[in-house]
Each structure stands twice: as structure tokens, then as C-alpha cells.
Structure 1
Amino acid sequence: MKDIATGLQHIGIPTNDIAETIAFYEKLGFTIALRTENKEAKEQVAFLLLGNLMIETSENRQAAMCSGAVDHIAIDVKDIEAALSFVNERNLNNLNDCIHFLPFWENGVRFFKIEGPNKEILEFSQIGLKPIFT
């Protein structure tokens, strides 16, 4: 994985009110890097940037509203297929996930998720590649 991963891509935080969440983080100095909609999930989404820290917030009306309510930690990878193979070879794909595509950013994002030992969700994500359909 050390040859595939490049670092932290973003931290996913669910929200019940995206406008309130954006306003809060803007007061901290974050700027909106991307605001879009996940049409499949019917969720408003914003990526908020402060230096090299990116927060993805999505209005899913299911925010836990308690301490520890981070939805996922996304690891940036340069080869999503290699990352999935790495995870599968080690029997870590405990969610039996596959590579998904969302039309975020200029050329989209491809990702998959696994669950850590503490029920934390780890997302492996590659930005900038169009989906490959077979």
C-alpha cells in the first residue's frame, strides 16, 4: 500500500444541514473547493478546504449528532485497482465492496470502502479518472 497511497484525501462528515455546516467551517477559514449533488443518493455535498485538509460533508439527514460522528476517512490512492487488489489479497474487503464512480471534480472520483476493527470506515479514493465500464 505504501507505493499506492499518497496520504489523507479527506474526512467525511455527515450533516443534517449543509448550509449550517458550510458556514461553521468557513468561519474557521475553510473555503468551498467543490459543491455538488450526489444524485444517486439524493444528497447535497460540499468539499471544504483549509491548507491541505479537506472535509467532505454530505447532507444525508442521518448525522449521529454525537461525539465521534465522522462517517469515513478517505485515503488518496494513485491506482484504485491496485488498492482494491491489495485489500482483497489480504482478506480486508469485509464489506465486499467494489469500485464506485461519482461525477465529482473535473473527471470524477473512483472509490471503495472497507471497515476497520473499530467499525471505522476507510475509503480508498482516486480522483480524476473517468469510470471504466465492462
Structure 2
Amino acid sequence: MSERYLGLGHVAVYTRDMEESIAFYEKLGGSVKGRGGVSTPAGEKKLALMSYGGITLELIQSPGAMPMGEGNVPHFAILVDDLDAAAAEVRAAGVDTFLTPEKKVLPDLFGGLQNWFFTGPSGEQIELLQML
């Protein structure tokens, strides 16, 4: 069956405010690929597809309380070629939500990596990841 897999389709991220999340990801170089909605008994669920960092994010704004229980994606990682430069660009875009003051360097994990996490407007964690 794996020969049928074409790659990652998208990563779904719940958002409290669709416009705020779109503006956030656009500020980081993303672009809107499409917008839509789905009717639910509680009202319209807003959806947007964004191209960001070589992947597609599906932003979801529920009409009611944001469902944040088991099964939610705890973070997604953007693979970068230069962690320090990527973090500097994110900061230059006005993002000041890094979770630690310094990057983490893990030379023995998965052949060596360094990473740095920051959060998006709805609390989603985004990892900048450089393999060493």
C-alpha cells in the first residue's frame, strides 16, 4: 500500500481566529491557497489552506469552542537549512513567541539536530528543525 502514498497532504491546525492566523502565516512567508466552510449543527466551520514552508496547513476555526483534546497535533516541524537564520527571519517578521531564549542542540538524537519552538496565534507550536 505504501507505493500509493504521494506525500504529506496537509497538517490541520485549529485556530481561534481565522483572520489572525492567516495574517500570522502570511507574515512568515505563507500564502492562502484556498478558503471555504462546512456547515455543522453549531454553525459554519471556517477552513483555509495555506502554503507554508513547503507544506500545506489546513486552518480550522470551529463555530463553537475550539476542540483541544486528545488527538490534536502537538506541533509541526519546518525543516530548515540554517536554524539561526530562519529564527532571525521569524523574529524580523515580528514573532516574539519563542518558547526558550536559546535553541536546543541535540547531537545524539536522530543523527543530530537542533531546533527552536515558537507558537502561533492559537497556541499551536511550530518547530524550526535543522538536521546536523
Give TM-score scaled by structure 2 length.
0.46
Give TM-score scaled by structure 1 length.
0.45
